[in-house]
Structure 1
Amino acid sequence: MIVFDLKCGSKGHVFEAWFGSSADYEQQKARGLLTCPMCGDADVGKAVMAPAVGAKGNSRPDPAPAAAAPEKAAPVAMSGADQAKMQAFVDALAQAQSKVLEESTWVGRDFANQARAMHYGEQDRSSIHGDVAPDEARALIAEGVEVAPLPFPVIPPHAKN
């Protein structure tokens, strides 16, 4: 089985779909069998999605019991006005992040070290952004270091074309 994020062409709705293989997806698309579950648009294609990268086999924590797993929220259909408000909100959030990043320095994997150095007065304070593992981010917060996740992914400067 393979899962793809799909996106309709008319309204930009993104949804998840499972297929037996990539060939199954191509066959269903060619036959016009794919439609948006929210608006019924038949103009559906693959959306950009993050790759699934598994953890090392020897570092994976024991899975939690199935009974303890939280229930997933069901999607809720929005009216056109609600969708427009949501899109305006997301656009404003993206613009705010872009402005913050313009005034910030990319420090990559050295983020945690530099954030600590600024917190403890070993380095002048400045606005930085970079990569940090979730456990390390929690450790920074526990120490009282002021950090916050960015709402949208950031492409490192060295990875841009």
Structure 2
Amino acid sequence: MIQYSLKCSNDHRFDSWFQSASAFDKLQSAGMVSCAVCGVSEVEKDLMAPRVSAGKTEAPSAPAKPDTPLSGPASPAEQALRELREAVEKNSDYVGRDFAREARAMHSGDAPKRSIWGEARGEEARKLLEDGVPVAPLPFRPTRKNN
């Protein structure tokens, strides 16, 4: 097992364990490593301090635990982001990549109005705004189910 200090594209830092260095590389290239705080899959290795044993006579010790738990936010901003994500997920329907189509259908009256969230390419989102469809970007991505 190997422990890496990781950092996401939103500058959240966290630690995670992997079976090996090659296992990390394989999971990262498949987009299966995500931020423990915001769920973003753009994650890279952060600077890490090497673990140096004090001498050969010491018995191997258990791996050190991270200073902060993976499930806890590191700042009030991260807590607010987590609460926003929970509220969105609880009070609206995730429609995935059908977001633009669903939003347009509700705006035109072809579908019943409800709270939705999902994914749209930049050009799709721009076209929705140009057409007067009320949409706004969220500061997080959907959480990937890895199993």
Q: TM-score, normalised by structure 2?
A: 0.50
Q: Which has the higher helix share?
A: 1
Q: TM-score, normalised by structure 1?
A: 0.46
Q: Which has the higher contact order (CA 8 A, sep 6+)?
A: 2
